[in-house]
Chains A and B, each alone.
Chain A
Amino acid sequence: MTSEMPRTIRVVTLYPEVMDVYADRGNLLAVQARCRALGVGVEVIAIGLGDALPSEADLVLIGGGQDREQRRIAPDLAAKGSALRAWADSGTAMLAVCGGFQLFGNFYRTGAGEELPGVGLFDVTTVAPAPGMPRCIGDMLAQSEVPGVGELVGFENHGGRTYLGPQGQPFARVQHGFGNNGDDGTEGAVYREAIGTYLHGSVLPKNPALLDRLILAALRHRYGAEATIERSRDEYAERAHRAAAEVARRKGRPNS
């Protein structure tokens, strides 16, 4: 692969019209802006309810939604489960945030005891909080378990508590904030190049190391393991990251 050849990645966004209540489209905007700077083309395919998936994808993005929206998409998403799991096994990069992360797990059990089926890509299960239990809301600071990603910042706002199963690998360890459940210090989940997280913010713009990792994984999925990206600093992203980390240290719930 020579650097003169134009490179393009295919990004599939799942239910952007529905799972977008929490500004997670900032993740797609960040991918597009960063790829523009890197000279990488981005083909975006938006998948709505009932739409068929394309045969291939290099990067999959899904955001958060309210309970109503999650209930709407859950059956459609579960029907796409085997295709999404096959993509993940082939090394497709994925980012599933909040409600999207929950539905990429085994299931979501609502307050009424109803189980919304999940994709089963991450070995995690999520349960609605017991009556009277508050939502997990606030600034988060975490250290990623994924090499090269480092410190993570963002904002979480979720009712559901997520627990890792025996095969589940956490994406990060919480320093300030709640993370998966507020108890075990884990945040999100990772499977191959797929990442699930509770971080909004939007998460990708102000976590440039994570953004670059996903873009690199997408390029490698498309062009093979030797694909590389130019290492260049993004002053705006680094400053916003530092500012958000400062806020999380000051205001976020400490996790000992």
Chain B
Amino acid sequence: MAGVGIRERGALLLGRGAGEAVRRLGRGGGTALPGLVAGRLAPGLLEACASQLGHGLITVTGTNGKTTTSHLISAAARIAGLHPLHNRSGSNLERGVISTFVGEVDGTGTMPGAADRLGVIELDEAVWPRLLPSLRPRVAVFLNLFRDQLDRYGEVDSVAEGWQRALAAYPFLTTLVLNVDDPSVAALAEGNAAREVIGFGIEDVGVALDGAEHASDARFCVCGATYRYDAVYMGHVGVWRCDACGRARPTPVVSARNIRLGTDSTTFELVVGREVTEVTIPLAGLYSVYNALAAAAGAHALGLPLEATTRALAESGPAFGRQERFALDGRMVRVLLAKNPTGLNEVIRTLLALPDDATLLALLNDGIQDGQDVSWIYDADLERLAEREFRLIVSGDRADDLALRCAVAGLEPRMVERDIAFALNAAIAATPVGGRIEIIATYTAMMAIRGMLATRTGAQPYWESTE
């Protein structure tokens, strides 16, 4: 099909004009506005654009790791000679996805070079069911399901139900890529016997936690009994089984063995089927291993060569605002996104590997994208930081709530300051030249401070970045 109908063409024109106007006015990337405008005017536009992709489309969804995983899949596709179409700015709601496509087609709705193109689309977990019929992915990656923004999603259970219902209603999706260590994700294989399922997971009990963490969301099997764990890697993710009904973690096709966690990188043996490759990724933390495995399994499902995947994992660096590093005034500054209890627990585990002389700048905002309810900070195990001597500065719109949470955990912030720019300067002043500043931030706080870091260090703003 060349191009789209007249209604879609008009919508395209107006949508692109709106995005351009936002950029000219210097109001940011204008990444969502074209989609908002075009989606309103022509609901069929997304399907008309997505259907042109010669190599089809892969979706990535789940609570944590969407942006990093899709960033890695996109890198592997590029190394393999494809031209990925990727909503890389983390614009993963309906209008952001439509904007991505609007930016890639001409005025007649035709996508130039569509034959070489592969869609790599990260989707918000609640949006995934809604966009499934328009995007018609070949492969769908499901990462994990943790409590996150309960003010927006209602309850954790309803997200999994939405995935299952959509899968039942749309039989065209061929391959499911599932995290077998997360029982609520692994359960998606049930009732989908006609689909190919590729499982990924960790095969190294040496990196397991001592016990279940507080923020654990899937304690009960669908049969009603309580899961047993031989190993817990994070939250409710691990080597699980149900003694009552016999359900158990399936053996993964793609896995990581012999994991060595460093402060800034991670090394492990990547197993894909019968092939084993030693990989070092420039990202810290066990959660980064899960993202790498999800990307490797997604790339495997797409039929990309393993060589392209391992190169992408080793070479393609962090995604926007996810462990990005900046050199600022002689200090190393790293940005760690944390927007829910499990994510924050994983960041804390990563920080515990650092020497005591690091400065922590913790930012809590309560915008719609952060979660307007800040209760979740009580579900994360901040108490674990109390055994260390980090310099702590607390900032963001809800700095006072975060400071109180820290005090309850036995931590004494050096400064509580709502203004993020002011707090960043204080963090620099408190850190000796050559030292580290670790910024832990919710989504909008990350966007704000990343903008400041980009400006001060001359790094490119994200809508101009070529990855």
- Is A240's CB within 8 Å of the partner chain B? yes
Kindly name the residue among A25, A26, A242 whose own CB sees the greatest number of chain B CB atoms within 10 A: A26
Which residues of B are at the interface with A, using a C-beta cutoff of 8 A?
A: 147, 150-151, 154-157, 214, 217, 219-220, 224, 341, 366, 372-379, 398-401, 403-405, 407-410, 416
The smallest C-beta distance from A17 to any residue of chain B, in angstroms, reads 7
Q: Cβ of B404 and Cβ of A236 under 8 Å apart?
A: yes
Structural contact, A239 and B400, CB atoms closer than 8 A: yes
Q: Is B375 touching A201 in the complex (CB atoms < 8 A)?
A: yes
Give the interface SS of chain A, mostly helix, strand, loop or mixed: mixed
Chain A's nearest CB lies how many Å from the CB of B406? 8
Given A139-B372, A236-B404, A243-B398 in contact, is the A25-B379 Cβ separation under 8 Å? Answer: yes
Q: Report B379 CB to chain A, min CB distance, Å.
A: 5
Cβ–Cβ < 8 Å partners of B157 in chain A: 66-68
Chain B residues whose C-beta falls within 8 Å of the C-beta of A157 in the assembled complex: 150-151, 154, 373
A206 contacts B by Cβ under 8 Å: yes
Nearest to B219 among chain A residues (CB) is: A17
Tell me the bound Cα distance from A65 to B150 in angstroms.
Answer: 12
- Compute how far the CA of A205 lies from the CA of B374 in the bound complex, rounded to whole angstroms: 12
User: Is A53 close to B, CB under 8 A?
Assistant: no
- Report if A240-B377 is in contact (Cβ < 8 Å); known contacts: A30-B408, A135-B154, A251-B372: no
From B156, B214, B404, contact of A239 by CB (8 A): B404
- Chain A residues near B224 (CB-CB < 8 A): 72
Alpha-carbon separation in the docked complex, A67 to B400 (Å):
32
A22–B150 contact, CB under 8 A?
yes
Asked if B375 and A22 sit within 8 Å, CB to CB, the answer is yes
B374 touches A236 (CB 8 A): no
CB distance from A11 to the nearest CB of B (A): 15
Report which of A23, A234, A242 forms a contact with B378, defined as CB distance below 8 A: A23
Query: Which 7 A-B residue pairings sit nearest by Cβ, starting from the closest?
Result: A26-B378, A243-B400, A240-B404, A23-B375, A23-B378, A236-B407, A155-B373
| Interface positions of A from 90 to 121, Cβ below 8 Å from B | none
Q: Are A68 and B375 in contact (CB under 8 A)?
A: no
Q: A128 an interface residue at 8 Å Cβ cutoff?
A: no
Contact residues of A between 187 and 221, Cβ < 8 Å to B: 200-202, 205-206
- Report 9 cross-chain contacts, Cβ distance below 8 Å, ordered by A residue: A21-B150, A29-B409, A66-B155, A205-B378, A236-B404, A236-B407, A242-B400, A244-B401, A251-B372
Report the Cα distance A247→B404, complex, angstroms. Answer: 16
* Residue A237 is within 8 A (CB to CB) of chain B in the complex: yes
B-chain residues with CB within 8 Å of residue A39 when the two chains form the complex:
none
What total of chain A residues lie within 8 Å of the partner, measured CB to CB?
Answer: 38
Chain B's closest residue to A247 (CB) is B366
Contact B378 A67 (CB under 8 A): no
**12 more A-B contacts (CB under 8 A) besides A155-B375, A200-B375?**
A23-B375, A23-B377, A23-B378, A24-B378, A67-B157, A68-B157, A137-B373, A138-B151, A201-B374, A205-B404, A236-B400, A240-B401
| Interfacial chain B residues near A138, Cβ < 8 Å | 151, 372
Question: In the complex, A20→B400 CA distance in Å?
Answer: 23
Contact of A29 among B156, B376, B378, B399 (CB under 8 A): B378
Is the beta-carbon distance between B372 and A23 smaller than 8 angstroms? no
Chain A positions 60 through 74: 1 when the CB is less than 8 Å from some CB of chain B, otherwise 0: 000000111000100
Residue among A21, A23, A29, A202 having the largest count of chain B Cβ atoms under 10 Å = A23
A242 and B403 CA atoms in complex are apart in Å by: 13
A45 at the interface (CB under 8 A from B): no
Which of A18, A22, A240, A251 lies in contact with B219, CB distance below 8 A?
A18
Of the candidates A20, A25, A72, A244, the one whose C-beta lies within 8 Å of that of B220 is A72
Q: Choose one: A25, A137, A243, A251; the contact of B214 (CB below 8 Å).
A: A25
A141 to chain B, nearest CB (A): 14
Pair B408/A205 contact, Cβ less than 8 Å = yes
Within the complex, what minimum Cβ distance (angstroms) separates B124 from chain A?
18
Contact in complex: A67, B155 (CB < 8 Å) = yes
- Bound-state CA distance A206–B376 (Å) is 14
Chain B residues whose CB sits within 8 angstroms of the CB of A18 once the complex forms: 219
Interface residue? A33 (CB, 8 A): yes
A155 touching B374, Cβ below 8 Å? yes
